[in-house]
Structure 1
């Protein structure tokens, strides 16, 4: 899947959440450096894209405006409902045949049925669709180090390569033409990531309750399991599981809950269970309920740690969080 950059191709972006903003900025930087047309973009709150505009991106008030001025359109929104709403707006904005030849690339984590439905809507309108969910949190999106799982017709995926590795991605996992397979891989990956967070959280609470201490446990995790597991541990020990009230989480608990429910539904539909994920769901739900009882505050998916702490008779907020918040 390789192609050279066509500097006449116009790109568009819909959705500037915690992932989309970093991805779109990297894409606009690449387009500007390549002499290609600037990235068109829109978002429910358009001011969210001010940083992208400063890099040369061109804002549009509507989805239809972006689509009309783009050949390849990326979507990266929060959930299935929002994605369906965006695609319906896309279809409503055009006249018969106006989408012919356009490529839509979706990086939203959704249920496979949603991916199939969206693909059909767009292909029926003579557009092409590529499912492109990504692995990596917002920091990796900012750094251009995401892993893309790509599925769709080769005629479309072949045109995307100039914009992925070295721009938004560190690598691509090709998944063939069945768009649901890409979404399924993303769901399977989330099972692993969220289950890791559950197990690591439990181990840290055990270390604190027994007097072993989190620092030595974290050293062992890094030495034995490598930088990925170590980074998950750091989300706990740094206090990132409950960011300051005025900051966003790296992987918000609401998005994680949505992803967990998708995974559990897929498992049930296929006659299997995900017990570790069930435990993670329960703990994330408790964490969110606790934060809501305090008037609400941003929580990361790793906030399950706070709920497990409370179950063990500890405060939801670690000493690291208390010290950090006291200094703000």
Structure 2
């Protein structure tokens, strides 16, 4: 498996595609933004002028898109799947509801192609470093075929089972913790601000103590910046925690912490700040305290 199409050259997709090119794969990437394709070409890949060019002649196509609806639109609405050779593989790496992934896989299999359910965790930093965690659901033989592709993008590739949707389920559990940890970090730092503490000192303390988490260490410094770089938007967690709550509802499982975190992200998005860095969930707490 050497020829890889790649759709979705965004803040994570572009470095993932670059890592594939650096690993020796022939990568043909498509994005609605022409400049993204040009950046891939500069890194040794090829910019596809259309969706069909990203699918035609490929062994596999990676979809690093926004959601399951967008994936379905690409594969069936735009008809791109028909340009992938019979037996070809669609590697779905977006965060999607488990039931939607299973339904999409069933349709793709009905067209004589295969789906590897492979959502990722690690953000832009992990995408750039090739150190993503990739949660995979695929039959053993199919997994063996695509593992070198996944290894080029991630440092931890874990197969969870045979059925598409199992990877998406693992991602939902992962995002529950990420969203709650991020909201909890914002709550703690907003309290420190309200109490007038030295914020650099406070961040240094909690980042190196038992109170620490990966999300605190990564997002905490950006919570204190006025206009931080966007590595993952507030609206991504609105979507992802919505998926978490959908999974919980389907399993008749109460998820009160996830629900509260979701409401905080939603409140920030509702004030027109959904495109800002997700560290700005701290604005929800500042508003509650009358400081926003």
SS in structure 2 at match of 1:172: strand
Q: Which residue of 1 aligns with 2:178?
A: 193
> Larger Rg: 1 or 2?
1
* Contact 1:198/1:276, CA 8 A, preserved across alignment: no
Alignment of 1:1-328 (within 5 A): 9-31=2-24, 36=25, 38-89=26-77, 91=79, 94=82, 99-165=85-151, 167-225=152-210, 228=214, 229-239=216-226, 242-243=227-228, 249-290=230-271, 292=272, 298-315=275-292
Query: Matched residues in 2 for 1:272 and 1:227: separation?
Result: 25
Query: Matched residues in 1 for 2:71 and 2:148: separation?
Result: 25
**Normalization by structure 1: what TM-score?**
0.82
Query: Matched residues in 2 for 1:164 and 1:116: separation?
Result: 20
Find runs of 4+ consecutive structure 1 residues off by over 3 angstroms.
89-93
SS in structure 1 at match of 2:23: helix
Q: Which residue of 2 aligns with 1:326?
A: none
Following superposition, the deviation at residue 105 of structure 1 comes to: 0.5
Following superposition, the deviation at residue 92 of structure 1 comes to: 5.7
* Contact 2:180/2:261, CA 8 A, preserved across alignment: yes
**Normalization by structure 2: what TM-score?**
0.92
1:263-299 Cα offsets, whole Å, 9 max, x none, are 1111122212222222222222221233x2xxx6831
1:15-69 Cα offsets, whole Å, 9 max, x none, are 11221111111111212xxxx5x21111122332211011222222222222112
Gaps of 5+ in 2: none
Query: Matched residues in 1 for 2:237 and 2:146: separation?
Result: 28
* Contact 1:64/1:89, CA 8 A, preserved across alignment: no
Query: Matched residues in 2 for 1:93 and 1:264: separation?
Result: 30
SS in structure 1 at match of 2:61: strand
* Contact 1:67/1:90, CA 8 A, preserved across alignment: no
**Further displaced range: 186-195 or 176-185:** 176-185
Query: Matched residues in 2 for 1:74 and 1:307: separation?
Result: 35
Gaps of 5+ in 1: 1-5, 316-328
Query: Matched residues in 1 for 2:184 and 2:167: separation?
Result: 26
The alignment yields a C-alpha RMSD, in angstroms, of 2.1
Following superposition, the deviation at residue 227 of structure 1 comes to: 6.6
**Further displaced range: 271-280 or 303-312:** 271-280
Query: Matched residues in 2 for 1:94 and 1:196: separation?
Result: 42
Aligned length: 290
Query: Matched residues in 1 for 2:80 and 2:136: separation?
Result: 27
* Contact 2:135/2:158, CA 8 A, preserved across alignment: yes
